[in-house]
């Protein structure tokens, strides 16, 4: 019997990973799509007059098991994939796309939704109910329900193609990452590298029956090499490999995929009556229009560019003075930045790492969540995992009631894509007076423990863990009625507020004293190092801001205009980077071909949201700072008005309820050291 087809008979209703065989997925998807269609038919054929309960709520709660199996499958495809899973994904994605269209293009269903929508002023709905009604109606109208039949057919074709192209894009990036290794046998080649990095590279070589060291394009291998390796030629070699993912003359080239994806997205937007894909997307964002996004990014650019140019000039002078380097290249950036940072602040990431043992940092994040929101995390081994590296926790509140199940997956492996993200295996919702608690997961790629050392994080990795944990808290503390409005189901330019605000705690003495302890001696991090972390927080902030702006502008250049005339991915990218580039271009490099956020993930026309949310998080954290970073009253307001509310109301309404005012950009510019 296929265990995926019915609700899981497990403790907490968790995913039964150990009992799931890959071949179950295709059969389960087909059967669950059929079952959900039957649920939809029941709604359509209901002889009663359409009302909120028998149409809107019935639609919201339909397909629950299909949603769960989808979340399990696509999360595995990101965190523990294989050729077999990728093959199944290529079969399943068009089926799901077709099914989604079967719903949004179903005239009889839309008629019932429209009937309820048209009488909403008489329905006495609460705020969340009204939001759901609007969302359901727009879900149809924004996805083709009002189109004539021939255009509906074309929309189906586009969505089917897009589903497959996005998957292919991600598979190509993963294949390029996995297929590259730099094998070094001379000791002098690893000069400058920290002992832990060398040990990990040596262990990797041994696991492949090779002598010496192997470096890969996985972040824990790539970043330390770029930051510390004294051999400039080898840094260049690794940098060129990293930056040419999806841009080489092989089976994994993503240029054609990009042109097809952007053209199909544009055609889809036009079909639906929008000028561009960005106009379609941004209608449902705080920013509202492409013009507002471009204006926001350009305003930041005006403030950041002079600072970035000045920082770059200083870096050039420093590299020339230190090593006689005449022209800085991209593969020099991390290396000389690190050297300059050490000189200016006597702060070396390698000196900090012993204080950031992964287990201590996890405990630190849990302690912050306890102090702010009264949460307790208890590691449990009574639920299934999809890989032995995954840690599982039971999260409870101060009354001992279950808040969430939490999964954490921290180390790179072949079946896992790069980067870090938060995801969900089960949404929170309230149905039949039962508050279904969520199952939330964070996935990162940190350095694995070696024979002689535990997993020690760089400070940047510490903030990454807190960032993803902030997203997780948004999911865990959700307390809404409807699953589609729960947790992180919010406007995309609002979703980064809970994650980015939590990073702020990493820079505070009060927080660091909780968990930053030397893994060998147990000594708490010295206060002079804490001061240096604070001082260096704005180091090269101009250049970092410029990079984020450049990626936001690149995204908008692909999606905020008609892409049909674009023939060269590289030329388009150079045009987008005109105002923001500092380093000389490298002809064999291309950012777009591995820019998974916008071509595989959900960030198309949304990459600006990282900077947008920074304005919110700087302003919100300034509020905490005024009253104390562990102030219970402010923390409760943040939980009650932001974290628990999900997408039940307009984000600005929620933000003002928490803060008492709209966010001020000055808080961000001040924190970044871009204004006094």
Q: Give the Cα separation of 376 and 363 in Å (integer).
A: 11
Q: Does 49 participate in catalysis according to the annotation?
A: no
What are the respective helix, strand and coil percentages of the chain, to the nearest 5?
A: 60, 5, 35
Q: Give the Cα separation of 527 and 290 in Å (integer).
A: 45
Burial of 219 from C-beta contacts in 10 A (0-12 / 13-18 / 19+): buried
Q: What token pair was written down for 47? A: 């002889």
Contact 633, 518 (CB under 8 A): no
3-state secondary structure 59-76: HHCCCHHHHHHHHHHHHH
Please tell me whether residue 406 adopts helix, strand or coil conformation.
Answer: strand
Q: Give the Cα separation of 675 and 667 in Å (integer).
A: 9
Selected catalytic residue, list 468, 541, 573, 614: 468
Contact 552, 366 (CB under 8 A): no
Closest CA to 340 of 540, 125, 595, 127: 540
Closest CA to 410 of 427, 428, 385: 385
Closest CA to 500 of 308, 605, 392, 642: 642
Contact 277, 262 (CB under 8 A): yes
C-alpha angle 608-307-500 in degrees, rounded to nearest 5: 35
Q: Give the Cα separation of 310 and 278 in Å (integer).
A: 33
Q: What is the DSSP letter of 667?
A: H
Instruction: Give the HSE-up count for residue 99: Cα atoms under 13 Å, Cβ half-sphere.
Output: 20
Per-residue DSSP letters for 106-138?
Answer: -HHHHHHHHHHHHTGGGS---HHHHHHHHHHHH
| b/e per residue 362-391 (b: at least 16 CB within 10 A) | bebbbebbebbbbbebeeeeebbbbeebbb
Instruction: Give the HSE-up count for residue 335: Cα atoms under 13 Å, Cβ half-sphere.
Output: 26
Q: What are phi and psi of 379, to 5 degrees?
A: -70, 135
Q: Which residues are catalytic?
A: 468
């Amino acid at each position: 019997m296929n265990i995926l087809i019915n609700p899981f008979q497990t403790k907490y209703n968790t995913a039964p990973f150990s009992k799931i065989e890959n071949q179950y997925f295709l059969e389960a998807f087909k059967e669950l799509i059929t079952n959900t269609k039957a649920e939809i038919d029941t709604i359509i054929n209901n002889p009663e007059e359409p009302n909120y309960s028998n149409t809107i709520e019935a639609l919201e709660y339909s397909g629950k098991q299909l949603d769960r199996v989808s979340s399990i499958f696509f999360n595995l495809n990101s965190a523990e994939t294989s050729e077999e899973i990728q093959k199944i994904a290529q079969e399943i994605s068009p089926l799901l796309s077709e099914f989604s269209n079967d719903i949004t293009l179903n005239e009889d269903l839309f008629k019932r939704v429209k009937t309820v929508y048209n009488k909403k002023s008489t329905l006495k709905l609460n705020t969340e109910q009204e939001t759901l009604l609007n969302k359901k109606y727009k879900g149809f109208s924004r996805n083709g329900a009002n189109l004539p039949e021939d255009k509906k057919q074309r929309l189906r074709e586009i969505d089917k193609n897009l589903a497959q192209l996005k998957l292919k894009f991600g598979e190509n990036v993963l294949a390029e990452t996995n297929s590259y290794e730099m094998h070094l046998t001379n000791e002098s080649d690893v000069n400058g590298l920290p002992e832990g990095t060398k040990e990990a590279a040596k262990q990797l070589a041994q696991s492949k029956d090779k002598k010496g060291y192997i470096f890969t394009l996985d972040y824990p291998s790539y970043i330390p090499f770029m930051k510390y390796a004294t051999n400039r030629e080898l840094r260049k070699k690794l940098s060129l490999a990293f930056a040419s993912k999806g841009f080489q003359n092989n089976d994994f080239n993503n240029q054609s995929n990009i042109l097809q994806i952007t053209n199909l997205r544009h055609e889809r937007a036009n079909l639906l009556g929008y000028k561009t894909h960005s106009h379609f997307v941004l209608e449902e964002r705080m920013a509202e229009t492409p013009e507002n996004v471009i204006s926001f990014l350009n305003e930041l650019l005006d403030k950041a560019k002079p600072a970035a140019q000045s920082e770059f000039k200083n870096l050039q002078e420093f590299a020339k003075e230190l090593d006689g380097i005449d022209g800085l290249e991209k593969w020099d950036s991390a290396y000389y930045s690190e050297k300059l940072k050490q000189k200016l602040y006597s702060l070396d990431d390698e000196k900090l790492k012993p204080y950031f043992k992964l287990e201590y940092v996890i405990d630190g994040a849990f302690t912050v969540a306890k102090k702010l929101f009264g949460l307790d995390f208890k590691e449990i081994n009574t639920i299934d995992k999809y890989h032995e590296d995954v840690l599982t926790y039971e999260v409870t509140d101060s009354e001992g009631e279950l808040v969430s199940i939490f999964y954490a997956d921290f180390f790179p492996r072949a079946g896992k894509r790069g980067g870090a993200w938060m995801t969900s295996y089960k949404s929170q919702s309230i149905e039949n007076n039962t508050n279904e608690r969520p199952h939330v997961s964070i996935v990162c790629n940190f350095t694995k423990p070696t024979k002689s050392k535990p997993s020690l994080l760089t400070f940047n990795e510490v903030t990454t863990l807190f960032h993803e944990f902030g997203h997780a808290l948004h999911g865990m503390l959700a307390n809404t009625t409807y699953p589609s409005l729960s947790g992180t189901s919010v406007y995309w330019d609002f979703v980064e507020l809970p994650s980015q605000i939590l990073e702020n705690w990493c820079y505070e003495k009060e927080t660091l004293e909780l968990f930053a302890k030397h893994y060998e001696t147990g000594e708490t991090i010295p206060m002079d190092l804490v001061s240096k972390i604070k001082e260096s927080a704005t180091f090269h902030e101009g250049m970092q801001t410029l990079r984020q702006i450049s990626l936001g502008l690149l995204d908008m250049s692909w999606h905020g205009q008609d892409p049909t005339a674009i023939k060269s991915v590289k030329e388009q990218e150079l045009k987008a980077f005109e105002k923001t580039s500092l380093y000389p271009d490298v002809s064999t490099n291309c950012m777009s071909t591995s820019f998974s956020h916008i071509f595989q993930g959900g960030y198309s026309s949304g990459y600006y949201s990282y900077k947008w949310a920074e304005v919110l998080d700087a302003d919100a954290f300034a509020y905490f700072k005024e009253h104390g970073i562990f102030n219970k009253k402010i923390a409760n307001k943040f939980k009650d008005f932001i974290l628990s509310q999900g997408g039940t109301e307009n984000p600005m309404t929620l933000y003002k309820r928490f803060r008492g005012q709209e966010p001020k950009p000055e808080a961000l510019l001040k924190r970044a050291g871009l204004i006094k």
